[in-house]
């Protein structure tokens, strides 16, 4: 059940980003990465999220996918925390145009909860 829940969240995030890849790349720039990194990361991120989501629902790959989710969410948490520390508040468009929210404690808490969910999957697999 935990694997399916996290897979749905990641797939939803990927689908949202795929609706506007230019915006996905811009969001990575808004979080402070230079264009040389933002362009490939913003382009590849939805594919990575879909691969992790698929991996979570396939039993033999779920352990590896849970690790990938922990690492990906850790990167998101670090990006949010760094921006908050620097006083920057870019919009989080984690689900593309489906949900837009300025980063803050709520977004950070959500990603911490998702990372804890991924860690719980690691303990159960």
41-94, pLDDT tens digit by residue? 999 999 999 999 999 999 899 999 999 999 999 999 999 999 999 999 998 888
pTM, to two decimals: 0.90
Task: Report the helix count and the strand count for the chain, using DSSP H and E.
Answer: 5, 2
Q: How far apart are CA 21 and CA 2, in angstroms?
A: 28
Length of the chain: 125
Question: For residues 121 and 6, is the Cβ–Cβ distance under 8 A?
Answer: yes
Average confidence (pLDDT) over 23-27: 91
Q: How far apart are CA 6 and CA 35, in angstroms?
A: 29
């Amino acid at each position: 059940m935990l694997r399916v829940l996290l897979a749905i969240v990641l797939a939803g995030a990927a689908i949202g980003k795929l609706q506007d890849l230019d915006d996905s790349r811009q969001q990575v720039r808004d979080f402070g990465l230079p264009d040389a990194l933002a362009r490939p990361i913003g382009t590849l991120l939805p594919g990575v999220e879909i691969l992790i989501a698929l991996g979570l629902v396939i039993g033999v790959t779920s352990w590896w996918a849970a690790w990938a989710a922990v690492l990906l969410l850790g990167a998101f948490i670090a990006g949010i925390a760094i921006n908050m520390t620097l006083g920057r508040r870019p919009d989080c468009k984690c689900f593309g145009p489906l949900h837009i929210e300025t980063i803050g404690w709520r977004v950070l808490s959500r990603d911490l909860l998702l990372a804890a969910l991924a860690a719980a999957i690691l303990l159960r697999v």
